[in-house]
Structure 1
Amino acid sequence: MMSRRLLCLLALPLCAACSAPPVQHYAAGRPRFDLAAYFTGTVDAWGMFQQRDGEVVKRFTVVIEGRRERDTLVLDERFAYSDGTTQQRVWTLVQAADGRWHGTADDVVGEAVGESAGNAFNWRYTLRLPVGGRSYEVAFDDWMFQMDDETLLNRARMSKFGIDLGEVTLFFRKRAGGDHARRDESALS
């Protein structure tokens, strides 16, 4: 019994070392990230999924069409993957009085909750991921950092039962003034 307690006490500093700082840590970061302003209109993104050993197993592009509907932000995301498959996810986002964002989508379990400070935004949610004909519920700790008016970097850690599965990295570029034409998605070929 004593050795089990000792093991738990020794593991605590390791667990604390792996946790990310709170989003308020980035409060002084500029430019200030405004989720609704950035994603209203058309945004293009390029990304990849890496397993925990660093191997890139999937690349993708995304076109995001964002629109305001009263107090709701709707993000229509259309993915094109390097293996030729496609996917659509439609987020419905609402900002609460405390400034936090709450979001739902068909493949999100429950509700995503996110908050921003300075140039950073942090989402936490559980996503149902289809893999080989099955579906797995995977936790996401999703961080976005605004670099300039058009550029956003995103890194999301995926885990299940607290075990790190891998990382998704994305580069977002907001289209200039009303350019809503779809880009050529053959860039992954």
Structure 2
Amino acid sequence: MMQRRRLLLAATAVATPVLLPGCAGQSVADYAAEKPVLDLAQYFNGIVDAQGMFQDRSGKVVKRFSVVMHCQWTGDQGVLDEAFTYSDGSTERRIWRLVRGADGRYTGTAGDVVGQATGQARGNAFHWTYTLALPVDGTVYHVDMDDWMYQMDERVMLNRATMRKFGVRLGEVTLSFTKRAVP
């Protein structure tokens, strides 16, 4: 029994320094000095096109899609109307309703989001988290989304979201947004 306890303590001592750095993660504050400064109401105003893919936990691309977003803001409230077209020909629509708060903080709701999304913008980055009700083969799963966006210039933004269930990484969504030029 004593030998088993020592072995467990030794394994914990070895594993802790390896595992803990992965738990810390990045912070939106890490990007506070980055340019261009992301203003969600400015970027997501008008029409934005996106191309994206979902990769499973092994890295295999299992779904590709394009999105056309019609976005508008009135004061601190925004509507992002997203029309998805998937590589298999299927379509989906999601309408985000966003509210800008103090200190770059935002909240959002959508029909397939459980509760409320919360996030914050700093510098060129926006980070938010939410629970998505994801239908798969007739069953709806609630998955946790850890969503990061990075504005590259006035027209391009990159997005990477990690999907988890019970803390287990299921896969990642990667998108490239391009804001249409205003004539």
Query: Please, what TM-score do these two structures have when normalized by structure 1?
Result: 0.88
CA distance in 2, matches of 1:164, 1:156: 11
Partner of 1:171: 176
Counterpart of 1:170, as a letter, is L
Greater Rg by CA: 2
Describe the shift of the 1:4–1:30 C-alpha distance in structure 2 as closer, same or farther (beyond 3 A).
farther
1:57 aligns with 2:48: no
1:141 aligns with 2:136: no
Describe the shift of the 1:5–1:147 C-alpha distance in structure 2 as closer, same or farther (beyond 3 A).
same
CA distance in 2, matches of 1:99, 1:4: 48
> CA offsets, 1:75-99, max 9 Å, x none?
0000000111100000000011233
Query: Please, what TM-score do these two structures have when normalized by structure 2?
Result: 0.90
Partner of 2:159: 154
> CA offsets, 1:134-167, max 9 Å, x none?
1100001111011110000000000001100000
Q: How many residues align?
A: 178
In structure 2, stretches of 5+ residues that fail to align are: none
In structure 1, stretches of 5+ residues that fail to align are: 179-189
Question: What do you get for the CA RMSD once the two structures are aligned?
Answer: 1.8
Describe the shift of the 1:41–1:8 C-alpha distance in structure 2 as closer, same or farther (beyond 3 A).
farther
Please identify runs of 4+ aligned residues in structure 1 that moved more than 3 A.
Answer: 1-13
> CA offsets, 1:6-43, max 9 Å, x none?
35665544143254210100111111111110001000
CA distance in 1, matches of 2:103, 2:13: 36
CA distance in 2, matches of 1:136, 1:4: 38
Question: Which secondary structure does the structure 1 equivalent of 2:129 belong to?
Answer: strand
| Percent of aligned pairs sharing the same letter | 56
